[in-house]
């Protein structure tokens, strides 16, 4: 059964259709990446799902319309990492991560345990007592993801969990990009459905089960990385010439410019 079911979703702001008639679903354990050029409506799609942008169509979380979920109940199984996370107050990294436990009433012992595990998964344990404003961009990003993962680290109630990520790796170096994607992959393997917007197509192809290509608010292609990440489709999507080769080890498609 799908954790998230999206049917004929459209977002219209003013006279402009930002997302038109998009349908897909995400199941537990699945990583679905949304790719597309700038302004394709990727972030708007996520914002429509989280309720931050007004939309028409059908949105179901665990087979129940999203609008039926109370904010508190929803926070137990749906966690969101937005693109920008401005935080000017001098919380420590550990305090920021523990804010992710806010919706739960699991007690301090379990909350602490979860935060430790989430911080370890994102490689920020050694920063636990550092003040958030003093971190580098990449460290902030990993801290925020640890917070978001801590929010749904373990099932709370019967509902399946869904993680939404908007460009989680954009400000990270190569090593931490890989580490973060592996953490997301492991998280998905523990039964969480993941829907994320990724700029790096090769990265999306390497770690996702399915790739959704979006252009001008419309769904262009949806399927396995091998079927979506092809020279013709990616070339058309981004309006530039590309080569797609198979990764020498994993065999996953890798996109090269020109």
Partner 1 sequence: MMSSAHRRSRRFCFVLLTLALAASFVLALLLGAVTIPPLDVLRALVGTELPGYRMEIIQSIRLPRALLAGFVGAILAICGAILQGLFRNPLADPSLIGVTAGASVGASLMIFLGAGGGLLGGFMGASLVSIGAFSGGLITVWLVYRVATGINGTSVATMLLMGIAVSALSASATGLLDYFADNEMLRRMSLWRMGGLDGANNTRAVLAGLVLLTLLLAAPAFGRALNTLLLGESQARHLGIDVERLKTRLIILVAAGVGTAVAVSGSIAFVGLVVPHMVRLWVGPDHRLLLPLSALGGAVLLLLADTLARTALAPTELPVGLVTALLGAPFFIHLLRQRRNFG
Summarize as ranges the residues that interact with partner 1 (CB under 8 A).
Answer: 50-52, 71-76, 78-80, 82, 85-92, 95-96, 99-100, 102-103, 129-131, 133-134, 151
If the CB atoms of residues 95 and 200 are measured against partner 1, the closer one turns out to be: 95
Q: What is the dihedral of CA 183, 251, 29, 24, to 10 degrees?
A: 120
If the CB atoms of residues 95 and 216 are measured against partner 1, the closer one turns out to be: 95
DSSP state letter for 124? -
If the CB atoms of residues 100 and 217 are measured against partner 1, the closer one turns out to be: 100
Least gap, CB of 151 to partner 1 (angstroms): 7
Size of the chain, expressed as the number of residues it contains: 258
If the CB atoms of residues 140 and 210 are measured against partner 1, the closer one turns out to be: 140
Measured distance CA(141)–CA(147) in Å, rounded: 10
Least gap, CB of 172 to partner 1 (angstroms): 20
Q: Which of 171, 173, 172, 151 is closest to 161 using CA atoms?
A: 151
* C-alpha pair distances (Å), 25 with each of 2, 17, 155, 191, 245: 6, 21, 20, 15, 28
| Cβ atoms within 10 Å of 92's Cβ, excluding its own | 15
Measured distance CA(156)–CA(39) in Å, rounded: 36
Least gap, CB of 53 to partner 1 (angstroms): 10
If the CB atoms of residues 100 and 253 are measured against partner 1, the closer one turns out to be: 100
If the CB atoms of residues 118 and 234 are measured against partner 1, the closer one turns out to be: 118
Measured distance CA(45)–CA(137) in Å, rounded: 25
Q: Are 233 and 185 in contact (CB under 8 A)?
A: no
Q: How would DSSP label each residue in 94-116?
A: HHHHHHTTTT--S-HHHHHHHHH
Least gap, CB of 207 to partner 1 (angstroms): 23
């Amino acid at each position: 059964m799908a954790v998230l079911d999206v049917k004929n979703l459209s977002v219209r702001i003013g006279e402009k259709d930002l997302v038109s008639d998009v349908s897909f679903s995400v199941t537990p354990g699945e990583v679905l990446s949304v790719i597309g050029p700038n302004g394709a409506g990727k972030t708007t799609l996520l914002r429509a799902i989280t309720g931050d942008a007004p939309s028409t169509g059908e949105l179901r979380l665990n087979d129940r319309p999203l609008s039926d979920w109370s904010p508190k109940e929803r926070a137990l199984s749906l966690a969101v990492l937005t693109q920008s996370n401005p935080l000017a107050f001098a919380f420590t990294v550990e305090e920021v991560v523990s804010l992710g436990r806010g919706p739960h009433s699991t007690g301090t012992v379990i909350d602490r345990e979860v935060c430790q595990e989430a911080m370890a998964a994102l490689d920020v344990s050694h920063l636990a007592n550092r003040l958030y404003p003093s971190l580098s961009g990449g460290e902030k990003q990993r801290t925020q993801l640890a917070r978001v993962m801590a929010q749904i680290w373990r099932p709370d109630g019967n509902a399946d969990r869904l993680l939404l990520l908007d460009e989680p790796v954009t400000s990270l170096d190569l090593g931490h990009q890989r580490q973060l994607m592996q953490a997301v992959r492991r998280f998905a393997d523990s039964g969480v459905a993941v829907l994320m917007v990724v700029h790096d197509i090769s990265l999306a192809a390497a770690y996702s089960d399915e790739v959704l290509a979006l252009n001008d608010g419309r769904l262009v292609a949806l399927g396995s990385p091998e079927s979506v990440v092809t020279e013709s489709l990616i070339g058309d999507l981004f309006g530039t010439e590309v080569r797609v080769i198979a990764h020498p080890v994993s065999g996953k498609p890798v996109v090269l410019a020109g």
